[in-house]
Structure formats: C-alpha cells, structure tokens
Amino acid sequence: MAWHIFIPDSLLEETSDPKIRTYKVGQIGRAAAIFGVEHVWIYKAGGKDGKFIKLILEYMETPQYLRKSLIPLTKELRYVGVLPPLRTPHHKLKGRPKLGEIREGIVIRKGKRLYADIGLDELALVEGSGEGRMTFKIVSLKPLKVVPSKPEEYWGYRVHLTRKSLAKTLKKAKLNLAIATSRKGEDVRKVNLPPLEGEVGFVFGSPRKGIMEILRDFNEDYPFDLILNTIPNQKTKTVRTEEAVLATLAIFNFIRRD
Amino acid sequence: MAWHIFIPDSLLEETSDPKIRTYKVGQIGRAAAIFGVEHVWIYKAGGKDGKFIKLILEYMETPQYLRKSLIPLTKELRYVGVLPPLRTPHHKLKGRPKLGEIREGIVIRKGKRLYADIGLDELALVEGSGEGRMTFKIVSLKPLKVVPSKPEEYWGYRVHLTRKSLAKTLKKAKLNLAIATSRKGEDVRKVNLPPLEGEVGFVFGSPRKGIMEILRDFNEDYPFDLILNTIPNQKTKTVRTEEAVLATLAIFNFIRRD
C-alpha cells in the first residue's frame, strides 16, 4: 500500500506572514512523514503558492547533507530555520559507514569515475551508473564503495506539482482508492470502509473552499470512492487544511491493519 | 463526558522564535477547540513557559470583543496576529441580538445598575448579579436585557496552570479515566478500550522527555488507566507534542460514540 495526499495550491491563501507560511507547509511535510505518505500532490485550485509549497516540502524531505547540492538557496527559503526536521530513516546522521547500510546520496563525476556524496567524511566510489540524487548501499568500507539500491524502509515522499486541476491530478495519480475529506461527507464512524490496498489517496480542500466547490469551479466531477467527514462533531466552524491532513492520517493509521 | 488535556510547561523548550512559539501554542488551542476539550492543564516539567502558554491559550479562548477588557496588552502578546481564530460557538460575531441567544459577556457596573458588554452595539441590562466574565442569555430586546445563563453547546476551554508536578496535577483534575500517550505505550489498535465516560484526561509529554521520564524526574508515579501509543508505526523518530495532541484527539473523537 502507498499513501498519497492531495493539497491545493491555495493552501496558504489566508496566511500572509512569510515565516508562518513556511511553518505551515512544514506541518504538511511533518504529517506526511509521520504517517509514511509517499506522494504529495499539489493541485491547481486558484492559488499562487504551488511552487513555494513544492520547494519547502522538497527542502524538508532532502537529507540535510544533500540540500546544498540539490536546492539552490533562494529568497523563498529565508525562513527554513523554523521548519521542524523530519527525522525519517533516510535522514542519516554522519558517523562511521556500516557495511550494508542504505544511504541517500548524490552522484559526482570525476573524470571517468563516479563518486557519491552520501553524507560521510569521504566520497564513495560508485559501482554502476546513474546521476543526480540516488539511493545507495554500502558494499565495501576500504575503499568506501556503494551500489545503487532500493530503500527497505520509509524513504520520504515525492512532491508532484501538476499545474492541473484536481480531477486531472487525480487521474494522473492512478489511485485504487480515492477518499475525499469534507465536512459535508459521511461520518467516518458510520461508513463501511473498503480494504485499504494499493494506491490510496486522501484529498483535502483549501482554507476557503471545500473539494466539491473546487471541482465545480473547474467544471469538473470525480468519482470518489468515499467522501468522508473525518472530524465528526467538530466544534470549530472550520478545520484548516493542515489540521485535516494530520487528523485524517492519524485516523487511517489507526484503521489500517497491515 | 468532559475531555481534559495535560501539557508540560516545557512544550516550547525547543522553539526559540517568538512568533513560532505563539503559533505553536495556537496549535494546541485549535486542537482543543476542534475536539471540544473543556480543560487544558499545564503541569510542571522543568520548563519556563507555563505562564506564556496559559496567556496565549486564554487569549485565543476569549471572544474577540472581550479581549481588550480582560487581557492587558503585554509584550508577550506581540505575535498574537499569527494565531488562527477558534471560531467556536461562543465566539459570536456582532449582528442583531436575538431573543434567547446565549452570549459571553463581561459585567460593567454603572452606579447601582449592572450592564454587560456582550459584543453588540449597545450594552445589555443585567437582571441578576455577578461580576467579571459571564455567560448570558438575551431575555428582552427593547430594552436589551440579559440574565446569567449556561451554555448549551461547546463553550471553550478553561486553562489551569497548576505549578505542580504531573502526578499532583492529575490528582487535582479528579479524572475518571487517565490516558497517557507514549511511543512506548501499547498499540492503540490492539487495546480493549474501556467506555469513555466522565472526566477523561489525555496526558502528553514534552519535546525531549516522555511522560514516564518526567514522572521519574519528580520521583513520582501515577496509576494511569492506559498508556497508549496513538501513532503506531510512526516513521519519524519523534512526534511533537502539538502533533500528538491533534492526532490523539482525532483518534478518540473517531472512537467515541456519544
């Protein structure tokens, strides 16, 4: 099973303070990481912050030692100091290399040879080919050598800024189960939930508009498998997107049985 | 049933930015309001921010029109502009008074007569007695008249800064069911939960220390009814207090059946 969340590019439409804007995207990144979300989709909903949201989410997801190489420092990253670290398994600390250890790295070409910066004191020789950011396994300590590999545990999320409307974004994601969250949805406590299997998507609206309204704005419709109110009897008039994301993922993490 | 949450005075020990400190307390206030928590307890855990946490939580909980009268403007309130509004039923907007409407107000004495500011254009005459902040019901429109009353829906939370250790704070709260949250607790999915009735308390640790460690620091013990891991299989090394509060309340809101 892989989890996807869908966030509107208007997530920050009610937040003007640049530090809080950064922090709020950070809350989405944290929620995704805590519950092992693998794909964060940013869909077009009339907002202006798609690129910024993507940038901050990707900054958070990138292991600290790779940020300098992969993410050019721009004005928009001014407040990344307030972002809480993810502390996921793929954010490894320095330390002694261990045989068999999986580490995220970036490929560096030196003449005809490939090396990888995997966040240790020395570069590792790469056996095999590739470029850019990759996942490696340490296969030799002296000399330090790695091969391209696949992660065995939760390894962060990918961010997709589709610049497409919600229905089109959902089609692109090829979900097996699409769950919309809405205050007007069915009470999550009273629904017979289908098994959570395959690609499961949780869709969230914006601060000002629910999912159905966003779809209508684009003259769209989408055959959601479920439209759920995951916060039945809420006592506040509205629930913010970042609150709904954490609450909904917490409940489905409680429900999942794998 | 009434819900209580217990927060350490060290909640902000890892947050130095004053704007983010304000915002983070705001996340606790929002979580409490969304799920109808009635009591927020701040217990002594070696932190320095008990007073600040209480101030921000009370500021948020006070209807906008009463803040000026009830909460003196101090330097610590500098960043309250970043706080999301609660938008609970007791935060009424201005508008025409309605017969039978319940509104929060503050008593104002003029000579021998008592009036109340209930957030409307005119003061209301008070039938009965009282002082300070009170809940009123409108019993006449011309003249505008109110009587002390009781709320019929969720009416915000009370904040208790006990300046006492956790076990002593818990004793003071006289709970019927005390639930500790801990990464090392039992998987919430595998526990037979007792009925949620009476005064139910959810206890949270600090960014650096779990509940058991905090109790040990004070040479204390407490007979919790349950010690639960409410985020089984978390993918991040730690879950922050404000994240744990929202996630835990979301799950118990899902579980409750009243």
DSSP string, B59-95: HHHS-HHHHHHHS---GGGTTGGGSPP---TTS--SS
A194 and A224 together in one domain: yes
Helix and strand numbers, DSSP H then E, in chain A: 6, 11
Residue B15 lies in domain: 2-86+156-253
Q: What sign has the CA pseudo-torsion B96, B99, B103, B107?
A: positive
What is the number of residues in chain B?
Answer: 258
B121 and B49 together in one domain: no
Residues of A in contact with B21 (CB under 8 A): none
DSSP state of B196: -
A219 and A121 together in one domain: no
> In 3D, which of A159, A97, A72 has the Cα closest to residue A116?
A97
Check CB contact under 8 Å for B235 and A35: yes
Residue A96 domain-assigned (yes or no):
no
Inter-residue contact B239 to B193 (CB < 8 Å): no
Residue A95 domain-assigned (yes or no):
no
Mean pLDDT of A56-80: 97
Check CB contact under 8 Å for A235 and B88: yes
Residue A40 domain-assigned (yes or no):
yes
A208 and A235 together in one domain: yes
> In 3D, which of A106, A70, A102 has the Cα closest to residue A88?
A102
Residues of B in contact with A34 (CB under 8 A): 231, 234-236, 239, 243, 247
- Strand A102-110, strand A133-140: pairing: antiparallel
Residue B38 domain-assigned (yes or no):
yes
B116 and B201 together in one domain: no
> In 3D, which of B88, B83, B114, B85 has the Cα closest to residue B103?
B88
Check CB contact under 8 Å for B254 and A257: no
Looking at residue B257, its pLDDT comes to 82
Inter-residue contact A74 to A90 (CB < 8 Å): no
The residues of B whose Cβ lies within 8 A of any Cβ of A are: 17, 19-20, 23, 30-31, 33-36, 81-82, 84, 86-89, 153-154, 188-189, 230-240, 243, 246-248, 250-251, 253-254, 257
Q: How far is B102 from chain A (nearest CA, A)?
A: 16
Best mutation target among B5, B16, B34 (most A Cβ atoms within 10 Å) is B34
Q: How far is B34 from chain A (nearest CA, A)?
A: 5
At A145, which helix (H) or strand (E)? strand A145-148
Residue A52 domain-assigned (yes or no):
yes
Check CB contact under 8 Å for B237 and A87: yes
DSSP reduced 3-state for B225? coil
- The CA-to-CA distance between both ends of chain A, in Å, stands at 9
- The CA-to-CA distance between both ends of chain B, in Å, stands at 9
Q: B26-65: string of b/e by CB count within 10 Å (b at 16+)?
A: bbbbbbbbbbbbbbbbbbbbebebbebbbbbbbbbbbbeb
Whole-model pTM?
0.97
Instruction: Dump pLDDT digits (tens) for A82-141.
Output: 999 999 999 998 888 999 999 999 999 999 999 999 999 999 999 999 999 999 999 999
Q: CA B72 to CA B51: how far, in whole Å?
A: 14
% of residues, chain B, pLDDT over 70: 100
Residue B96 Cα distances to A18, B121, B122, B189, angstroms: 37, 9, 11, 48
Q: What is the mean pLDDT of chain A?
A: 96
Total domain count, chain A? 2
Check CB contact under 8 Å for A84 and B234: no
Residue B94 domain-assigned (yes or no):
no
Whose tokens are 């076990």? That residue is B167
DSSP state of B100: T
- How buried is residue B131: exposed, middle or buried, by Cβ count under 10 Å (0-12/13-18/19+)? exposed
Residue A97 domain-assigned (yes or no):
no
B172 and B59 together in one domain: yes
Residue B132 Cα distances to A44, B40, B101, B115, B154, angstroms: 49, 21, 20, 11, 20
- How buried is residue A244: exposed, middle or buried, by Cβ count under 10 Å (0-12/13-18/19+)? buried
ipTM entry:
0.96
Query: Which of B111, B128, B148 marks a domain boundary?
Result: B148
Q: Among all residues of chain A, which has the CA nearest to that of B245?
A: A247
Confidence class of residue A248 from pLDDT cuts 50, 70 and 90? very high
Q: CA A201 to CA B34: how far, in whole Å?
A: 24
User: With a cut of 50, which residues of chain B have pLDDT below it?
Assistant: none
Cross-chain CB nearest to A243 (options B30, B235, B239)? B30
B161 and B241 together in one domain: yes
Looking at residue A14, its pLDDT comes to 94
B105 contact partners, CB below 8 Å, separation of at least 6:
B66, B116, B117, B118, B119, B124, B133, B134, B135, B136, B146
Best mutation target among B237, B243, B253, B258 (most A Cβ atoms within 10 Å) is B253
B110 and B238 together in one domain: no
Query: Over 90: is that where the pLDDT of A257 sits?
Result: no
Counted across chains A and B, CB pairs separated by less than 8 A come out at: 111
B52 and B163 together in one domain: yes
Cross-chain CB nearest to A87 (options B30, B238, B248)? B238
A42 and A65 together in one domain: yes
Q: How far is A233 from chain B (nearest CA, A)?
A: 8
B22 and B131 together in one domain: no
Check CB contact under 8 Å for B250 and A248: yes
B192 and B74 together in one domain: yes
Looking at residue A258, its pLDDT comes to 78
| CATH number, residue B50 | 3.40.1280.10
Residues of B in contact with A240 (CB under 8 A): 30, 84
| CATH number, residue A113 | 2.40.50
Instruction: Dump pLDDT digits (tens) for A144-197.
Output: 999 999 999 999 999 999 999 999 999 999 999 999 999 999 999 999 999 999
Q: How far is A17 from chain B (nearest CA, A)?
A: 8
Q: How far is B87 from chain A (nearest CA, A)?
A: 5
Check CB contact under 8 Å for A246 and B243: yes
Looking at residue B258, its pLDDT comes to 78
Q: How far is A220 from chain B (nearest CA, A)?
A: 31
- How buried is residue B3: exposed, middle or buried, by Cβ count under 10 Å (0-12/13-18/19+)? buried
Mean pLDDT of A29-35: 98
Cross-chain CB nearest to A235 (options B34, B233, B251)? B34
Looking at residue B95, its pLDDT comes to 86
Residue B258 domain-assigned (yes or no):
no
Best mutation target among A3, A22, A25, A34 (most B Cβ atoms within 10 Å) is A34
Q: Among all residues of chain B, which has the CA nearest to that of A17?
A: B82
Q: Among all residues of chain B, which has the CA nearest to that of A61?
A: B236
